[in-house]
Structure 1
Amino acid sequence: MAMDHLGDIFSLVLMSLALGMDAFSVSLGMGMQALRLKRVFIAGITVGFFHMLMPFIGIMLGRFISTQMEGFAVLGGGLLLFGLGVQMVLNSFNVEEKSLMRATGFGLILFSLSVSLDSFSVGLSLGMSGVKTFLALLLFGIASTVLTWTGLLVGRKARGLLGVYSELLGGSILCAFGLKIIFG
C-alpha cells in the first residue's frame, strides 16, 4: 500500500518535471533578453501559478467526465497524454525560431498561458484517473516555477543549447505515462 502511494508520488514528480520542460525550453530563449533577477522571480511565480490553475481546471473537468463515462475515461486520458507527448516530441524537431516574448505585462501572461496549456490536458487526464488534486497541483507549480527560473538564468549564459533536448525529453516522458495509463 505504501509502495503504491510512493509510486504515485514518483509518477507525479516525473510528470511535473515533464510539464515544466516546456517552460524551461521557452525560458531559455526568453532568458537571452536582459532580465533583472526581480523579473526572473516574477516570471517563475507567474508560470507556476498558471501550471497550477490550468491543470486544476482540467482535473475538475476530467472528474466530471469520468463520472459520466467511466470506462472510456481512463483510455481517453491515456490517449490524451500520449498524444500530448507526441506533439511535444514533434515540436522539438521544429527548427523555426520562436519569437521572443517579453517577461512583463501581457507578454508574461501570454508566455505563462502558452507554456501551461499542455498542463490543462494533463489535468484533464488526471481528473479522469482520480489523482490526488492538491499534491498534483503543488508539484506542477513547484516544478514549473523552478524550471522557469532555471531556464531564464541558464538562458542568460547558454544561448539555447538545451532547449530542443528538454522538450524532446518532456514529450517522451508524457508518452510513457500515456502508455502506462492505457496499458495499466
Structure 2
Amino acid sequence: MSMFIGEIIALSMMAFALGMDAFSVALGMGLLRLRLKQIFYIGVMIGLFHILMPMFGMIVGRFLSRQFGSIASYIGGALLLLLGIQMIAASFKKEGDASASPKGIGLIFFAFSVSLDSFSVGLSLGIFGARTMLTILLFGFFSMVLTWMGLMLGRHFQQWLGAYGEALGGSILLAFGLKLLFSF
C-alpha cells in the first residue's frame, strides 16, 4: 500500500511538472481576456491531450522496454533529463505570444503543441512500467486544472510567474530524470 501511495505522489509531481508548462503558456493566453466558456474548453482540450499523448508514449515505451530491456531504462531517464533541461532553457527565452487562436483547429494545434512533452514523459514511464490509467488520469487532471488557473490568473501574473512556472516544471522533470538514471 505504501508503495502505491509513493507512486501516486511521484506521478502527481510529474503531472504537476507537465501541468506547469501548460500553466505558464495559459498565463500568456490569459491576456486575451477569454470568456469563461472558452477557458473551460481550452482547459478540457489540454487535459484531453495530456491524457492521449502520454498514453501513446507509454505504449511505445513498454514496447521499447520489452525489446531493449535495461538499456531502455537509461533512455527513459535520459529523456526526462533532456526534457527538464529543455523546459528550463525555454523558460528563459523571451517570446511573444505567437500561439494560434484558441478556437477550432487552432485550439487543437495549441493543445497538441502544449502536450508534446507529455509524450516523452509517457515514453519514459512506459519503459519503467508505471500504471497507465493512474498516470494518464493524473496528467490530464493536473494539466486541465493548471491550464484553467493559468488562464484565469493570466491578466495579473503573466510577467511575474510565466517563466518561473515553466522553470519549476523543468526542474521537477530534471530531478526525476537524474533519479531514474542513477537508481540502476
* Range class of TM-score, shorter chain: over 0.9
Q: Residue 174 of structure 1 corresponds to which residue in structure 2?
A: 173
Q: Is the 8 A contact 1:40 1:149 kept in 2?
A: yes
1:64 corresponds to 2:73: no
Q: Is the 8 A contact 2:29 2:97 kept in 1?
A: no
1:117 corresponds to 2:116: yes
Q: Distance in 2 between matches of 1:142 and 1:33?
A: 24
Q: Residue 35 of structure 1 corresponds to which residue in structure 2?
A: 34
Q: Distance in 2 between matches of 1:159 and 1:21?
A: 13
1:162 corresponds to 2:161: yes
Q: Residue 148 of structure 2 corresponds to which residue in structure 1?
A: 149
- In the TM superposition, what is the alpha-carbon distance from 1:5 to its structure 2 partner? 1.7
Q: Residue 19 of structure 1 corresponds to which residue in structure 2?
A: 18
TM-score, structure 1 length as denominator? 0.96
SS of the aligned residue for 2:159 comes to coil
Q: Residue 95 of structure 1 corresponds to which residue in structure 2?
A: 94
SS of the aligned residue for 1:50 comes to helix
| Structure 2 stretches lacking a partner, 5+ long | none
Moved over 4 A (4+): none
Aligned partner letter, 1:180 = K
1:107 corresponds to 2:76: no
Q: Is the 8 A contact 1:30 1:102 kept in 2?
A: no
Q: Residue 54 of structure 1 corresponds to which residue in structure 2?
A: 53
Q: Distance in 2 between matches of 1:160 and 1:103?
A: 20
Q: Is the 8 A contact 2:99 2:110 kept in 1?
A: no
TM-score, structure 2 length as denominator? 0.96
Q: Is the 8 A contact 1:29 1:100 kept in 2?
A: no
Q: Is the 8 A contact 1:21 1:147 kept in 2?
A: yes
Number of equivalenced pairs: 183
Quick one: percent identity of the two aligned structures? 54
Q: Distance in 1 between matches of 2:123 and 2:104?
A: 28
Q: Distance in 2 between matches of 1:75 and 1:14?
A: 20
| Structure 1 stretches lacking a partner, 5+ long | none
Question: Cα RMSD over matched residues?
Answer: 1.0
Change in Cα spacing, 1:74 to 1:106, as seen in structure 2 (3 Å) is same
